[in-house]
Amino acid sequence: MKKHQSLNLTASIEKVKALLGKIYGYKTFIFFLAVASVYGFIIWRINYYSNTLPSQSEKTAQATPQPHIDANTIQKLQSLQDNSVSVQSLFDAARSNPFQE
């Protein structure tokens, strides 16, 4: 027959204290393992997220829209360029060197 073991709170507390006493000598090593495992997990997640490629839907969602210029604005610029000699030279200079101020 099985013996019925009763749970004794004081005996359990004494066992936990004895276990903590044994572990207390290794507290620095356990702390080092805990910190190293946290750093390892963070590096692993960074590596995982840095190597993932975006899906096709993410690529199309983040695509930059093409700039659009109104047709009326284009006509106004062309008429301005045709009517003024100084503006023509400004446009020509901007075409040859767009980064000059």
- Rounded CA-CA distance 55/97 in Å is 39
Contact 40, 32 (CB under 8 A): no
- Rounded CA-CA distance 23/14 in Å is 14
Q: What is the pLDDT of residue 42?
A: 97
Per-residue pLDDT of the chain (101 residues; tens, 9 = 90+): 445 555 677 888 888 888 888 888 888 999 999 999 999 999 999 999 888 787 777 777 777 677 788 889 888 888 877 777 777 777 778 888 777 76
Nearest Cα neighbor of 34 from 20, 16, 42, 21 is: 42
Nearest Cα neighbor of 80 from 91, 93, 69, 67 is: 91
